[in-house]
Amino acid sequence: MLWAVVDAYSSGRFLPEVIRRHGMDCVHVQSSPEISPYFLASFQPQDFTENIPHDGSVRRTADKLAALSVGCVLPGAETGVDLAEALTALMRLPGNDPQIPGGRRNKAVMARLLRGAGLATPAGLLTADPAGAVAWAERRGVWPVVAKPVASAASDSVFFCADASVLADAVGAIISRENVLCRQNDAALVQEFLSGTEYAVNTVSRQGRHHVAEVWRYAKRPVLPASVVYDYEEPVPFGDPAVAVIADYLGRALTALGVRSGPAHSEVMLTSRGPVLLETGARLPGMMLPAVMAGYFGLSQVDLTVRAMTDPAGFDAICDSPYATRGLLRNVFLISPRAGTLARDDQFRLLAQLPGFAGMSISARAGSRLPRTVDLGSSPGYVYLMADHPDEITASYKQIRELEATTLYPLTDPGAPDMTVAQSLPAGIST
């Protein structure tokens, strides 16, 4: 069986290797004429037997795939979700519910579907009017609120708004720009701020049955006046009481959103009133290394995704078992305190010498422009640390932050330092 991956960018680049390991090949479907600069460096065209540019006609692209005897279509990145789902529906292949358009991309649609299923969601307003957003927030009388694009990725243009002025500016900024996926934002979603602990949950589904592959707990840092950056994330053992509560809620939420087949990455805030879904992406998460995940959990979400298609009985057997964890793991997101041109990149080797180093992915390159980190998309990369004792993880984490403040980002034309990044807040900020 030949597979097709739509937009094999970001973590989608790991799919072809696992698919080949199961004795099959892949073709690539490129959903748009130009690849978003955010994803371009991660694309590895040599991993595919053929690249099929999508010309706007789902029927023509489906016919090309059918002529090649493609038997499975998966999205590789957020940009490929809609087209992959349209192709699976037309080709009658395993996929998500085509009768729920937008249920896996549009955050406002997600909230509406969850409310219809009787599940908790953030109170919110979809609007293109800054004044209307302010009026909604003032009627509620509870600050802060969160403003975000309705369909973007990588915490792009997510604003934490403490008052009316910041909210109006945030909505205006969102609707005036293209998002990280190179699509114009036509509206902003304004939502209540959820106080609690934020979790990332990675799942794989087959025929509507949802298997929790991993649960992670986030730590984030607010960046004044209105943004947040990811600090680090740590896996939560399956036996933690929070996992059972979140898994039960998320299983019902995924069903309500029409998720039936393949991987999903969901962000859930565990609040005083219980779990509340922030969003679900019907694809693999960004910023992950399958080899590290396989070493820690036994199987990575990428492995499980392919297994669900190639070995249904084996996958169903795995669904009956909880995921395992081995020791301690932390994924540290790199934070650049200032913008400038990166003079060199050999200094990133210092990260591999840290005690407990398990893997890393660095997007910053010598001679390229390094942005100041204000969201997930502007992070220079990430580093996995694995150890048996928390003190080992903490010591190496502190060394990473010290290196960032001194030698990790040598710039030829540095901008002003960022003096507004707060200390890490394990309680999380809803994004």
d(Cα 334, Cα 227) in Å, to the nearest integer?
A: 16
188 and 206 housed in the same domain: no
Summarize the confidence of residues 147-171 as an average pLDDT. Answer: 84
Backbone angles phi, psi at 180, to 5 degrees: -65, -15
CATH number of the domain to which 45 belongs: 3.40.50.720
Q: Is the pLDDT of residue 226 over 60?
A: no
Helices 241-256 and 107-116: crossing angle in degrees, nearest 10, is: 100
pLDDT digits (tens, 9 = 90+) for 62-117: 999 999 999 999 999 999 999 999 999 999 999 999 999 888 888 999 999 999 99
Q: How far is CA 5 from CA 33, 93, 306, in A?
A: 16, 13, 12
Look at residue 29 and tell me if it is in a domain. Answer: yes
Do residues 307 and 314 make contact, with C-beta atoms less than 8 angstroms apart? yes
pLDDT attached to residue 65 = 98
Model confidence, pTM:
0.92
- Same domain (yes/no): 6, 65: yes
Domain assignment present for residue 6? The answer is: yes
Do residues 422 and 231 make contact, with C-beta atoms less than 8 angstroms apart?
Answer: no
- The least confident of 38-47, 254-263, 326-335 is 38-47
* pLDDT number for residue 122: 94
Residue that is last in its domain, among 173, 192, 211:
192
Q: What is the pLDDT of residue 417?
A: 54
Taking the C-alpha atoms of residue 153 and residue 237, their distance in angstroms, rounded to an integer, is 27
What average pLDDT does the chain have? 91
Does residue 430 form part of some domain?
no
The residues pairing with 384 across neighbouring beta strands, listed in sequence order, are 331, 359
| Domain CATH number, residue 141 | 3.30.1490.20
Last residue within a domain, chosen from 146, 165, 192: 192
Does residue 68 sit in the same domain as residue 182?
no
Distance CA 82, CA 32 (A): 12
Tokens of 193: 């701020």
* 392 shares a domain with 320: yes
- Asked if the model's pLDDT at residue 263 lies above 70, the reply is yes
| Residue 7 pLDDT | 97
**How far apart are alpha carbons 260 and 270 in whole angstroms?**
24
Pair (160, 66) in one structural domain: no
Looking at the structure, do residues 209 and 160 belong to the same domain, yes or no?
no
Last residue of a domain, one of 168, 192, 216: 192
Q: Is the pLDDT of residue 426 over 90?
A: no
Judge if 358 and 270 occupy the same domain.
Answer: yes
How far is Cα 134 from Cα 164, in angstroms, rounded to an integer?
A: 6
How far from the centroid of its chain's Cα atoms is residue 18's Cα? 20
Q: What is the pLDDT of residue 38?
A: 81
What are 283's two structure tokens? 């694809």
- Domain annotation covers residue 104: no
- Taking the C-alpha atoms of residue 17 and residue 13, their distance in angstroms, rounded to an integer, is 8
pLDDT tens for residues 374-423? 888 889 999 999 999 999 999 999 999 999 999 999 999 876 554 444 44
Q: Are residues 229 and 321 in the same domain?
A: yes
Does one domain contain both 142 and 290?
A: no
Radius of gyration, alpha carbons of the chain: 21
Same domain, 225 and 348: yes
Classify residue 388 by its DSSP letter: S
Query: Residue-wise over 317-348: b if at least 16 C-beta within 10 A, else e?
Result: ebbeeebebeebbbbbbbbbbebbebeebeeb
Report yes or no on 425 lying in a domain: no
Tell me how many degrees the CA angle 6-8-14 measures, rounded to the nearest 5: 130
Residues 177 and 225 in one domain: no
Q: How far apart are CA 344 and CA 365, in angstroms?
A: 7
Of the candidates 249, 255, 118, which has an alpha carbon nearest to the alpha carbon of residue 196? 249
415/339 Cα distance (integer angstroms): 5
Q: How far apart are CA 63 and CA 65, in angstroms?
A: 5
List the domain range (segments joined by +) for residue 267: 197-406
What is the CATH number for 249? 3.30.470.20
Q: For a pLDDT cut of 90, what percent of the chain falls above it? A: 79
- The mean per-residue pLDDT over the stretch 196-209 comes to 96
Distance CA 383, CA 348 (A): 10
| Domain total of the chain | 3
Least confident among 41-55, 248-262, 270-284, 401-415: 401-415
Assess if residue 161 is contained within a domain.
Answer: yes
Q: In terms of domains, do 233 and 360 share one?
A: yes
Q: Please say if the pLDDT value at position 430 is more than 80.
A: no
Name which of 136, 150, 133 is nearest 187 in CA terms.
150
Residue 377 lies in a domain: yes
- 118 in a structural domain: no
